[in-house]
């Protein structure tokens, strides 16, 4: 089964993506704690706005980083992990 790039990701209620100076990076805050995101996850997370679909996020990052092999696969993989961890919902 292939990933549906027409789905629009949004952070689940109670989850907030933000830059955290003390962590020197982007984090995902939620009621029970915080997840520090790596640079790649932060770039993807910064584009999750409940308006762009996955295809638009892929296109945006492909424009910023042309020629990166497997870019789309990496973004799809992040979406799958984020959904499995209940950070996002795909509508």
In angstroms, rounded to a whole number, what is the distance separating the alpha carbons of residues 86 and 64?
Answer: 28
- Domain presence at residue 1: no
Buried-state track 16-42, b at ≥16 Cβ within 10 A, e below 16: ebeeeeeeeebbbebeeeebebeeebb
Q: In the chain, how many domains are there?
A: 1
- Domain presence at residue 3: no
CATH number at residue 17: 1.10.10.1150
For residue range 42-68, what is the model confidence (pLDDT) as tens digits? Answer: 999 999 999 999 999 999 999 999 999
- With a cut of 80, say whether residue 2 has pLDDT above it: no
* Containing structural domain, residue 25: 9-90
């Amino acid at each position: 089964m292939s990933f549906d790039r027409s789905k629009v990701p949004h952070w689940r209620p109670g989850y907030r993506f933000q830059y955290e100076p003390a962590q020197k990076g982007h984090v995902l805050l939620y009621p029970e704690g915080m997840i520090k995101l790596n640079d790649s996850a932060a770039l993807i997370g910064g584009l999750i706005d409940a308006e762009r679909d996955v295809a638009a996020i892929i296109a945006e990052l492909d424009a910023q980083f042309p020629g990166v092999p497997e870019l789309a696969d990496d973004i799809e993989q992040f979406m799958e992990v984020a959904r499995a961890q209940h950070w996002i919902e795909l509508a």
